[in-house]
Amino acid sequence: MELMLSPVGKKIFDYLKKHDRAKVLDIAQKLNIDQSIVMRTILEMESLDIVEKWEQDEVILSLTSEGKKALKEGLPEEQLINFLKDHGETHIKDLNVRDKEIAIAWAKSKGAIVIDKGIVRLIKESIDNKEKELLKKVKEGKKIKEEDIKKLKKRRFLEVLAKTYVYVRLKPEMKDKNIRIIEEITELTPEVIKKWKDKKFKKFDVNSPAQQVYSGKQHPVTQVIEYVRKIWLDMGFKEMTGNKIVQAFWNFDALFTPQDHPAREMQDTFYLDYSAPRINADRQIVKRVKEMHERGDEKSDGWNYTWKETYASKLLLRTHTTVLSALQLASLNPHDLPAKYFAIGKVFRNETLDWKHLFEFYQVEGFVASNNVNFKHLLGYLKIFFQKMGYDKIKVRPAYFPYTELSLEIEVFMPEKGWVELAGAGMFRPEVVKPLLGEEVKVLAWGLGLERIIMNYYGFKDVRDVYTTDIKMLRDLKRWLY
């Protein structure tokens, strides 16, 4: 009788001829072949009625950390007896042994000690240490009685695990008959190709199920950030970066937010305990911001209050990336214009965490500074951006923001949700631009949150899912394809 088997199949066949039965795990270890390959080959051999396999549950005994410690250092009661041998009778509080309470309980139950008014006295130096012998047997892989297993489990020296093993054996007719093995070729090599006419090749089923392979990929948030960055860089913008901890001056005052505005309160802002001694800014800029708040100029009445530098010098976690726009504008000179900048960064709000609010999230910020731009240019930039993000239907409606005028909100149309707001924009007020630049210049500005875009794209119902670390969920998510 002839059998056509792969080289691995022949090795397994020869191994099973010498053994009545064998674990798949043992076969893999003895033949030094990957267990998955052995299992796959056995399944093929089973389909050819060469072998039969079955599963069998087995109890595995394993020492706990306490069991290993007891075997290495001695039982707790042993250590107590040795201590009392060296020190004599000792008060309980002065006993310096491991697991004192456990040691006392077991030494007392074995009749080794007595306790009188808190004094521990040794009355028997030799005790039954059968547990230690049992631990040695378990470590050596030897079997022990059921009652001994219970005893060691009670002392938390042992854990009992149930494990299922796959066993296999040759069918009787395969073991007794004179069988000639013809090896199938399962792998092409130069030598095989040279003499292919004399070989028997294994047939492959290209429709058979294969193991799912998961390639590495970036987290969805990282994918979106890189895509958004590319959009603005392709449109000729430069990227702004900066610190997450800033002074209130740049977060609020430079953006013409009065010092008694509710948004500056602790309910909305994360303040640091430490305050800087003075504002980290050019003193001329600080002076111009102060004057704009207190008195305004020929076109503005300002806020008409006494501006205080101590409030402006407080440190906080930035509440918006517009901080970066203010810092960048303050660093420009008239000959630097026109200027186009964008930023992608984390911002922080003292929000209650729920399905639609985070206290730490990403914002995309941008501005264009030039006397040759107007409101239509702002609409053009935003339209191009959102079209590149995959939104064809865009709608603009009037809005109000503290430091822009005109102001607008961008809505995009989604078939399953209708019109959804995704961004706010406008033209910086002169009260913002003049103190920072030293002269009045038109500045287009916008900001949007990344998380809402990501939620809409992936269909998340909870904003917290945007930052999921669930491996299965991340594997199943589609790639960012806009």
* Average pLDDT for 209-225: 81
| 367 has pLDDT over 70 | yes
Give the Cα-Cα-Cα angle 54, 59, 62 (nearest 5 degrees).
135
70-118, pLDDT tens digit by residue? Answer: 888 888 888 888 888 888 888 988 888 888 888 888 888 888 888 988 8
Residue-averaged pLDDT of the chain: 86
**pLDDT, average across residues 364-380:** 93
Task: Mean pLDDT check: name the lowest of 271-280, 350-359, 393-402.
Answer: 350-359
Q: What is the reported pLDDT for 432?
A: 94
DSSP class of 393: -
Looking at per-residue confidence, does 264 or 33 come out higher? Answer: 33
How many other CB atoms are there within 10 angstroms of residue 468's CB atom? 17
> DSSP readout, 41-89?
HHHHHHHTTSEEEEEEEEEEEEE-HHHHHHHHH--HHHHHHHHHHHH-S
Judge whether residue 456 has pLDDT over 70. Answer: yes
Beta-carbon-side half-sphere exposure of residue 53 (alpha carbons within 13 Å): 20
Lowest mean pLDDT among 136-150, 220-234, 257-271, 457-471: 457-471
Q: How many CB atoms lie within 10 A of CB 91?
A: 11
Residue 406 structure tokens: 């005109």
Q: Counting Cβ atoms within 10 Å, is residue 428 exposed (0-12), middle (13-18) or buried (19+)? A: buried
Q: What DSSP letter does each residue of 188-256 carry, written as one string?
A: --HHHHHTGGG-EEPP--TTS-----------HHHHHHHHHHHHHHHTTPEEP---SEEEHHHHTGGGT
Q: Would you place residue 187 in the very low, low, confident or very high pLDDT band (cuts 50, 70, 90)?
A: low
Residue 144: the pLDDT is 85
> Could you tell me what percent of the chain has a pLDDT over 70?
93
pLDDT of 440 strictly over 60? yes
Q: Look at phi and psi of residue 74 and say left if phi exceeds 0, alpha if psi is from -120 to 50, else beta.
A: left
Q: What is the pLDDT of residue 179?
A: 64
Q: What is the pLDDT of residue 192?
A: 65
Q: pTM for the whole thing?
A: 0.58
Nearest to 460 by CA among 332, 365, 355: 355
- Give residue 232's pLDDT band: very low, low, confident or very high (50, 70, 90): very high
Mean predicted confidence (pLDDT) in 241-262? 92
- Region at 156 (left for phi over 0; alpha for psi -120 to 50; beta for the rest): left
Mean pLDDT for 199-226 is 77
3-state secondary structure of 326: helix
Return the closest-CA partner of residue 45 out of 192, 181, 210, 198. 181
Query: Do residues 295 and 302 make contact, with C-beta atoms less than 8 angstroms apart?
Result: yes
pLDDT level of residue 201 (50, 70, 90 thresholds): low
Which pLDDT band holds residue 195 (cuts at 50, 70, 90)?
low
| pLDDT bucket at 207, cuts 50 / 70 / 90 | confident
pLDDT tens for 4-32 read 777 788 889 889 988 888 999 999 999 99
Q: Work out the average pLDDT over 115-130.
A: 86
Examine the pLDDT at 208 and tell me if it is beyond 70: no
The pLDDT-based confidence of 385 (bands split at 50, 70, 90) is: very high
Task: Give me the pLDDT at residue 250, please.
Answer: 94
Asked if residues 32 and 11 have their Cβ atoms less than 8 Å apart, the reply is no
pLDDT of residue 431: 93
* 195-221: average pLDDT: 73
- Evaluate the omega torsion of the peptide bond into residue 338 and state whether it is cis, within 30 degrees of 0: yes
Q: Residue 9: enclosing H or E segment and its boundaries? A: helix 7-17
d(CA 50, CA 278) in angstroms, rounded, equals 86
pLDDT over 90 (residue 289): yes
Identify whether the C-beta of residue 120 lies closer than 8 Å to the C-beta of residue 113: yes
pLDDT-based confidence at 457, cuts 50/70/90? Answer: confident
What is the per-residue pLDDT across 102-113, written as a single tens digit (0 to 9) for each? 888 888 888 888
Amino acid at 476: D
User: For residue 180, what pLDDT band results from cuts at 50, 70 and 90?
Assistant: low
Is the pLDDT at 482 greater than 60, yes or no? Answer: no
Residue 382: name the closest of 363, 395, 401 by CA: 395
For range 377-387, the mean pLDDT? 92
Q: Tokens 């890189």 belong to which residue?
A: 226
Longest dimension (CA), the chain: 110
**Residue 384: predicted pLDDT:** 92
- What tokens appear for 106 in the block? 């077991």
Please enumerate in sequence order all residues whose Cβ is within 8 A of that of 266, keeping only pairs 6 or more positions apart, or say none: 350
Q: Which residues contact 300 (CB under 8 A, 6 or more apart)?
A: 292, 430, 431
The three-state (H, E, C) secondary structure of 94-109, written as one string: HCCCCCHHHHHHHHHH
- Mean pLDDT in residue range 290-317: 92
Share of the chain above pLDDT 90, in %: 35
264 burial level (CB within 10 Å; 0-12, 13-18, 19+): buried
> What domains appear along the chain, each with residue ranges and CATH number?
2-55+165-201 (1.10.10.10), 65-159 (1.10.10), 221-476 (3.30.930.10)
* Average of per-residue pLDDT across 403-426: 86
pLDDT in tens, 322-333: 999 999 999 998
Q: What's the confidence (pLDDT) of residue 342?
A: 96
Q: Which residues contact 214 (CB under 8 A, 6 or more apart)?
A: 475
Rounded Cα–Cα distance for residues 78 and 82 (Å): 6
